[in-house]
């Protein structure tokens, strides 16, 4: 276990703290300031005044000479030549200034801080003097900065690994900012863990290995942990998870993580798809589609990270997380197209395509979650290529048992900077899942509306009377392109923060 722990631990540690001093008096390796656009040209944002004064009002002119325009996401580094205690200044664009300092968009601040810290890899320390007039803004700046320093270096040799920024200082005198920055550190720790898991090669992250990690980290965080191995899964009737995992030398697992608070009146259940590698099974994927299939456990990763954060934050809500873990491989023991399996709910499924495996493990997880008597079930999965076709690589699709819940999940995700869009569950597509020999087929052979049909399939396994939402994040879980904002190349950790925010929301709803 110690060997696995060493491999899965982050290769770097970045600390964050709050400082209420002005930026001109803080000794730091780099000073990060925001720049707004205006009809009269560039304008220093709140927090940049001290640097502008040290440059005798020449900050805007300096940046203009560098071709800097102040658009969101734009970044410029330049030496200060001793004008302030920091040897290097970093200007990030914030776009048009809001009417009030406290009205800066939180996602703009997160992305600005992330762009800046990504540009400062290897710097011992950096001070983020971005607008932070409220505790929420201070949290956004800290969170974006912490997420921006991420770099997966575990497998690099020969000194090629970049060092992260060692310490971040957030400048803010806002009431509650200290607690907000602490919350940002907790969220960033969970997202970093999820990114690490998604980026880890499947040779080092089997279903059993993931379950062991979840058991150790969950127990340490104060969660109750139950792990069902392949024998218990078969005896318990978890036909979906067993069927998907039976072709692999690495057997499947189901992990239940439980968090409870004595003052809680609401229970939320999160169910995550955890396919540690998806070859497609006997319905083999094209070779070009396989290298990033290590990310097919991103849903389970998000649930795992969210439960750890919920516990550390001490939210007054009961939360349960199910990690549905399997490896989908072709072999002489693998399930075959046309096989019929019996799920935990007792329903039979005709397997038309073994590459439509995520919905099979989720069916078992969703049905099992119903035994916790939850007020809400949310499943999270890298489920369909149809999500990417419909919404692209950065926007999750959200389906739900009712319109109000669907829009609630979308709104919470967007507020966290995790793009999502509400999608329907058209009843006419349900007929395409009919099977002549079983209760339901795992695929509509025509492939039309495949993301929506997958949602309709999962709806069949939701316990009666329980509100349910499904998040398809096939594209957003893994960034195959260049880094942007605070999002790195590779695993993104997407939806982890959304799940935590939903738990907070249901806590707040009962408190109100």
State the catalytic residues: 285, 359
β-strand 376-381 against 267-278: which pairing, if any?
A: parallel
Q: Which residues pair with 76 in a beta bridge?
A: 91
β-strand 490-491 against 420-422: which pairing, if any?
A: unpaired
Check whether 40 is labelled as a binding-site residue.
no
Return the H-helix or E-strand segment holding 256.
strand 253-259
For residues 70-104, b (16+ Cβ closer than 10 Å) or e, as one string? bebebbbeeebeebbbbebbbbbbbbebeeeeeeb
Distance CA 49, CA 61 (A): 14
Tokens of 363: 């069916």
Tokens of 462: 């939701």
DSSP 8-state symbol, 319: E
Return the H-helix or E-strand segment holding 233.
helix 230-236
Check whether 355 is labelled as a binding-site residue.
yes
For residues 315-338, b (16+ Cβ closer than 10 Å) or e, as one string? bbbbbbbbbbbbbbbbeeebbebe
The answer to whether the CB of 450 falls within 8 A of the CB of 463 is: no
| Residue ranges in 87-206 assigned as alpha helix (H) | 106-118, 135-148, 177-199
Task: List the end-to-end C-alpha distance of the chain, in Å, as a whole number.
Answer: 44
From the number of C-beta atoms within 10 Å of its C-beta (0-12, 13-18, 19+), residue 363 rates as: buried
Which residues have C-beta within 8 Å of that of residue 455, sequence separation ≥ 6? 399, 423, 425, 470, 472
Instruction: Say how many residues make up the chain.
Output: 512
Q: Which residues pair with 254 in a beta bridge?
A: 228, 324
Distance CA 237, CA 250 (A): 19
Residue 391 backbone phi and psi in degrees, to 5: -125, -5
The answer to whether the CB of 15 falls within 8 A of the CB of 168 is: yes
Check whether 77 is labelled as a binding-site residue.
no
Distance CA 77, CA 63 (A): 9
Residue numbers belonging to the annotated binding site: 273, 278, 296, 355, 357
Residue numbers belonging to the annotated binding site for Mn(2+): 273, 278, 296, 355, 357
């Amino acid at each position: 276990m110690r060997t696995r722990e060493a491999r899965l631990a982050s290769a770097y540690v970045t600390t964050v703290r709050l400082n209420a001093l002005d930026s001109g008096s803080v000794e730091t390796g780099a000073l990060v300031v925001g720049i707004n656009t205006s009809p009269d040209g560039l304008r220093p944002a709140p927090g940049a005044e001290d640097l502008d004064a040290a440059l005798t009002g020449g900050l805007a002119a300096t940046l203009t000479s560098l071709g800097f325009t102040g658009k969101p996401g734009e970044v410029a580094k330049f030496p200060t030549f001793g004008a302030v205690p920091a040897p290097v200044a970093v200007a990030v664009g914030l776009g048009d200034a809001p009417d009030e300092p406290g009205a800066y968009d939180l996602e703009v601040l997160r992305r600005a801080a992330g762009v800046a810290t990504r540009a400062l890899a290897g710097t011992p320390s950096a001070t983020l003097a971005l607008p932070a007039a409220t505790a929420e803004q201070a949290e956004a700046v800290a969170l974006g900065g912490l997420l921006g320093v991420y770099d997966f270096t575990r497998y690099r040799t020969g000194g090629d690994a970049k060092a992260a920024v060692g310490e971040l200082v957030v400048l803010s005198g806002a009431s509650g900012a200290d607690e907000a920055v602490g919350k940002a550190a907790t969220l960033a720790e969970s997202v970093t863990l999820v990114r690490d898991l998604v980026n880890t090669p499947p040779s080092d992250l089997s279903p059993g290995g993931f379950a062991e990690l979840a058991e150790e980290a969950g127990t340490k965080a104060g969660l109750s942990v139950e792990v069902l191995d392949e024998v218990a899964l078969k005896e318990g009737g978890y036909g979906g998870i067993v069927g998907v995992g039976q072709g692999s030398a690495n057997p499947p697992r189901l992990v239940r993580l439980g968090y409870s608070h004595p003052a809680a009146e609401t229970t939320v259940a999160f169910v995550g798809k955890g396919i540690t590698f998806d070859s497609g099974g006997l319905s083999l994927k094209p070779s070009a589609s396989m290298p990033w299939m290590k990310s097919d456990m991103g849903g389970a990763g998000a649930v795992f990270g969210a439960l750890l954060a919920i516990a550390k934050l001490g939210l007054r809500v009961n939360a349960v997380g199910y990690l549905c873990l399997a490896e989908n491989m072709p072999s002489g023991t693998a399930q075959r197209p046309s096989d019929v399996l019996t799920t935990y709910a007792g329903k039979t499924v005709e397997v038309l395509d073994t590459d439509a495996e995520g919905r099979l493990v989720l069916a078992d997880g969703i049905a099992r979650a119903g035994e916790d008597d939850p007020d809400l079930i949310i499943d999270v999965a890298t489920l369909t290529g149809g999500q990417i076709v419909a919404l692209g690589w950065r926007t999750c699709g959200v389906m739900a048992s009712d319109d109000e819940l669907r829009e609630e999940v979308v709104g919470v995700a967007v507020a966290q900077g995790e793009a999502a869009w509400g999608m329907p569950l058209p009843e006419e597509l349900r007929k395409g899942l009919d099977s002549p020999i079983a209760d339901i087929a795992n695929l509509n052979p025509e492939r039309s509306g495949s993301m929506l049909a997958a949602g309709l399939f999962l709806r069949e396994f939701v316990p009666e009377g329980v509100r349910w939402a499904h998040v398809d994040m096939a594209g957003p879980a893994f960034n195959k392109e260049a880094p942007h904002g605070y999002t790195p190349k590779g695993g993104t950790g997407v939806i982890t923060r959304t799940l935590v925010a939903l738990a907070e929301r249901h806590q707040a709803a009962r408190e109100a």
